[in-house]
Structure 1
C-alpha cells in the first residue's frame, strides 16, 4: 500500500509540474502576442499595397484630402508644382543646348571644329617652310528660335547646309525668270528666292520655284516695293543675317546672273567670305604691287602700294561664322546711316580696311574666286569673246554687272554657251555705249 501511495504522489506531482509549465507557456504566448500586435498592428504577412474599396470614389478621397489639408497647404503645393515645372522646362532647354554642343563636338572632320580645338592649344613651330596657319573661323551654333518658319524652309531646300539665295521684286521679273530657268536646267536643287512683294511670290510659286516671303517689316518692305537695284541690293545684308544665324552657308546671288554649271562644285569653303571679283585680269582680280611716283621726293620718289579691284557684292559665298555676321551687321548699319552710299563700296571697305587708330578692322578670312569660272561681263565682252582659246572655256556663271542692257546680254550668254550660237555675243559693244 505504501508503495502504491508513493507512486500516486509521484504521478500527481509530475502532473502538477506539467500543468504549471503549460500555464507558463500560455502566459508567455499571450505576452508575445500582445507585443507583436503592438509593434505590427497590420500583421507580418499583409501586402504593402493600400487597401482599396471600390465603393470609395475619387470624390470621397478628395473630400478626405480637403479635410486633412488647409487651403494654405494646397496653395503651397501648387506653387511647388509650378516651380518644379518651370525648372523642368529650363533643364530641357539646357539639355537641348548641350546635345547641340555635343553634336558639333563630334564632327571631328569639320574644319571649323579642328580650328576650335587648335586655338585652345599652344603649338611649337615646325621646320622652315612647313608651318601653315588656319584659314577660317568656327561656325556658329545654329539658333532656330531666330526664325522657325525660315528654318523649316531651309531644312527642305538646302543641301549640306548651303544654298543659293536671291532677293527679287517685280521690277526684275524678266531677269529672274532667266535666272531660275538656267539654275533648273543646270540641275541645281538648292536655291531659294526671297520675294520682296506679293507679285514675285506668286510668280515663283507658279513656276515651281522655292520661295520665301518674310514677315511684314515696314522698314524693309518700303524699300522692297519701290527701291531700285542699289536700294534692294542693300537689303540683302540685313536679310542674310538670319540665314547665317540658323547655321547655313549662303551663296548670295543677284538675278542678273546666268548659271552654266553648279557653283557648289567649284567652291573652296576655306574662308569666311569667298567672292567673285570685278577685276578683268590677273593683276586687278588677285592684287598687285602698284608703284606710285612722286618726283618731288627725289630719291624716295617711288612708293609701293598694294591694290586689288573690289569684290562683287552681288555674288559671294558666306559661311555662318562670327566675322561673317559681324560683316553683315557693319554693312547694314552703315547703309542705314549713309543712305547715299553704295553697298558694294561699303562691303569692300569693311572687308579690307585694316585696324588703325580709331577703327577696329574686321578679322575675316577671304578668298577671290577664279575670274574665268566666276566671270563678270567685262571679262566676257572685252576679253573672252575675242580669244579663240578662252571662248572654248565654259564658265560656272556669267554676271552681267558691267552693262545696263542686262536682259538682252543674259539671253545672248544663254544662246552662246547653251544653245551653240557662236555669234550670239557679237552684236554687243565692249562697254555700255549705244
Structure 2
C-alpha cells in the first residue's frame, strides 16, 4: 500500500515514466552536443569548403563527393584558367598595338590621325570671305630627356622659349667674332654658339659668349671640326632637332651675318618655318607667274608656271612643331644618303615639293621674310647702296651669302650701318671676281 501510495504521490507531481525518459534524452543530447562542440568546432561539414567550392564553381554545380570526380573537375578548371590567360595575353597585345598607333600619330607618321588631333571638332563654314584655315601648327610637348645638358643651358639663355643659334668651328673664327660682336652691340641676350671643336669653345668662353659644346659623336665629329661652310651647314639640321624636341623656337643663323636690330621684334611666328629669301625684288622673293613659251604647241604655246627664289637655309626661324621636326629629319636623312647634295637645295625641295605619286609632300606652313629687313648681300650691293632712299633704311640683318669675300664685306657693313661711314660699301663690286 505504501508503494502504491508513493506511486500515486509521484503521479500527482507530474513525474510520469514517459517524462523521465524525455528528460534523460535531453540531458544525453546536451552532453553529446558538448562533446561534438569540443572535438568538431567547425561541424562535420566545413562551411569554408562549401564557400570555396561555390567560388570555384560559379554555376553552383555541386562537386561530387567521389574522389574520381575531383581530378576531372580540377582539369576543367585548369583548362578554363589557361583559356583566360590566353585571352589576357591577346588583350595585352591589342593594347600594345593601340599604344603604338597613338605614338605614331603623335610623331606625325599618320597624317590623317595627326590632322584629327590638331583640328579637333568639326566646324561649320562661315559667311563668304570670312573663312580662314589654320595657319599655325601646335608646338610639341617638350622632352628634356632628349638632351638634359642642353635643356639646362637653354633654360638659362633663352627668352620666351626663343634663341638664336649658330654652328661654328675654327675655320670661321674671324667671321664668328664679327657675328657675336654685332649681336652684343644690338643688345640681344638670347643667342648661343654650338661649338664644333674645343678651340671655338674656349674662344667663346674667353669672350663671354654663351656656348654649347656637343658630346662626342664619331659619326660627324670629323666633318664638324674640319669641314667648310657647306659641310658644317649640313650638320645643323641634325643638331637643331634637339632644340625643337626640347620645345624651343630657333632662329638659325650662319656666322656670315651682321645684326643691326633685334630680329625677334620682326618675327611673325604664324608659320612652321619663317625664312629669309635669296630673292632680290618683289617677284623673286614672294613669287610670280612665269610664262613658258613653246611655239611648237601652237594655240597652247604659252604655259604658266609659278616661280619663287629659294629660301636661304642660313637664316630661318623654325618653331617646335611636328612638320618642322619632320622637315629637319627629311633634310638630314637625304644629306646623309646624298653627300654631294647642297643642303639649301634639299631644304627647299622638301619644303616646297607637293605630294605626287610615290612622294608625300611636307605639310608645313611657310612665310617669306621682308627682303629689305632681312637683307641678302645681292640686295645690298646691287640695289640698296645705289639708291639714296634705300640707303637710309636700316635692315635687321645683312647676310653676306652672295659673295665669297665674306669677312671684308661684313666689316664694311658694320662701318656703313654702325659707324656711319657712307662710302664703306663703295669699293666692292656688285658680284664676285670669279
CA distance, structure 1, for counterparts of residue 207 and residue 376 of structure 2: 27
Query: Residues 83-98 of structure 1: matches in 2 within 5 Å?
Result: none
RMSD: 1.1
- Using the alignment, how far apart are the partners of 1:411 and 1:322 within structure 2? 39
1:15-26 to 2 correspondences below 5 Å: none
Contact map agreement 2:157 2:189 (CA 8 A) in 1: yes
Instruction: Identify the range of structure 1 (130-139 vs 321-330) with the bigger mean alpha-carbon deviation.
Output: 130-139
Residue in 2 aligned with 1:387?
387
Alpha-carbon separation, structure 2, partners of 1:123 and 1:387? 50
Alpha carbons of structure 1 residues 213 and 285: separation in structure 2 relative to 1, 3 Å: same
Shift of 1:133: 1.1
Cα offset, 1:412, TM superposition: 0.2
Indicate the residue corresponding to 1:245 in structure 2.
245
**8 A contact 2:163–2:251 mirrored in 1:** yes
Name the SS of the counterpart of 1:139 in structure 2.
Answer: coil
- Distance in 2 (CA, whole Å) between partners of 1:128 and 1:428 is 53
Deviation at 1:226, TM superposition (A): 1.4
- Give the corresponding residue for 2:416: 416
Task: Please list the CA deviations of residues 180-220 of structure 1 after superposition, one character each: whole Å capped at 9, or x if unmatched.
Answer: 00100000000000000000000000000000000000112
Q: Is the 8 A contact 2:118 2:137 kept in 1?
A: no
Q: What CA distance in whole angstroms lies between the structure 2 residues aligned with 1:221 and 1:187? A: 32
SS in 2 for 1:219: coil
Tell me the equivalent position of 2:217.
Answer: 217
Secondary structure, aligned partner of 2:276: strand
How far apart, in 2, do the equivalents of 1:118 and 1:403 lie?
A: 43
1:120 paired residue number: 120
- Whether the 8 Å CA contact 2:118–2:138 is kept in 1: the answer is no
Q: What residue in structure 2 maps to residue 317 of structure 1?
A: 317
How many Å separate the matches in 2 of 1:233 and 1:246? 21
State the shift of 1:225 in Å: 1.4
Q: Name 1:139's counterpart in structure 2.
A: 139
The CA distance in 2 between the partners of 1:143 and 1:291, in whole Å, is 48
Distance 1:146 1:345 in 2: 28
Change (3 A) 1:203 1:324: same
Aligned residues of 1:164 and 1:191 also touching (Cα < 8 A) = yes
Deviation at 1:122, TM superposition (A): 1.0
SS at match of 1:271: coil
1:361 aligns with 2:354: no
Distance in 1 between residues matched to 2:118 and 2:145, nearest whole Å: 30
The equivalent of 1:180 in structure 2 is 180
Structure 2 Cα separation of the partners of residues 225 and 153 of structure 1: 22
1:298-332 superposed Cα distances (whole Å, 9 cap, x missing partner): 00000000000000000000000000000000000
Q: Does the CA contact (< 8 Å) of 2:196 and 2:225 recur in 1? A: yes
CA displacement 1:78-100 (0-9 Å, x = unmatched): xxxxxxxxxxxxxxxxxxxxxxx
The alignment partner of 1:305 has SS state of: strand
Structure 2 unaligned blocks of 5 or more = 1-114
1:258-407 aligned at under 5 Å gives the runs 258-407=258-407
Aligned to 2:238, the other structure's residue is in SS state helix
- 1:134 CA displacement: 1.1
Once superposed, which parts of structure 1, at least 4 consecutive aligned residues long, lie more than 6 Å away? 115-118
Q: How far does residue 118 in structure 1 lie from its aligned partner after superposition?
A: 7.0
Q: Secondary structure at the match of 1:375?
A: strand
Give the conservation status (yes or no) of the 8 Å contact 2:169–2:226: no
Give the TM-score normalised by structure 2.
0.73
Where do residues 178-217 of structure 1 align in structure 2 (5 Å cutoff)?
A: 178-217=178-217
User: CA offset at residue 431 of structure 1?
Assistant: 0.3
- Cα distance, 1:281 vs structure 2: 0.5
Task: Sort the Cα spacing of 1:117 and 1:127 in 2 relative to 1 into closer, same or farther, 3 A.
Answer: farther
* Residue 117 of structure 1: how far off its partner (Å): 8.3
What CA distance in whole angstroms lies between the structure 2 residues aligned with 1:337 and 1:120?
Answer: 37
Note the 1:103-118 alignment, pairs <5 A: none
CA distance, structure 2, for counterparts of residue 390 and residue 228 of structure 1? 34
CA contact (8 A) 1:116 1:138 kept: no
Instruction: Tell me the equivalent position of 2:59.
Output: none
Per-residue CA shift, 1:20-65, capped at 9, x if unaligned? xxxxxxxxxxxxxxxxxxxxxxxxxxxxxxxxxxxxxxxxxxxxxx
Contact map agreement 2:258 2:413 (CA 8 A) in 1: yes
Query: Secondary structure of 1:380's partner?
Result: helix
Distance 2:244 2:283 in 1: 32
Equivalent residues of 1:136, 1:364 under 8 A apart: no
Q: Distance in 2 between matches of 1:177 and 1:129?
A: 51
Equivalent position SS for 1:299: helix
Q: What aligned pairs does 1:145-184 form with structure 2 within 5 A after superposition?
A: 145-184=145-184
Cα distance in 2 for residues equivalent to 1:303 and 1:124: 37
Tell me, which stretches of 5 or more residues in structure 1 are unaligned?
1-114
- C-alpha distance 126-117 of structure 1, shift in aligned 2 (>3 A): farther
- Against the structure 1 CA distance between its residues 118 and 338, is the aligned structure 2 distance closer, same or farther, given a 3 Å change threshold? closer
Task: Write out aligned runs for 1:231-242 (5 A).
Answer: 231-242=231-242
TM-score (norm 1): 0.73
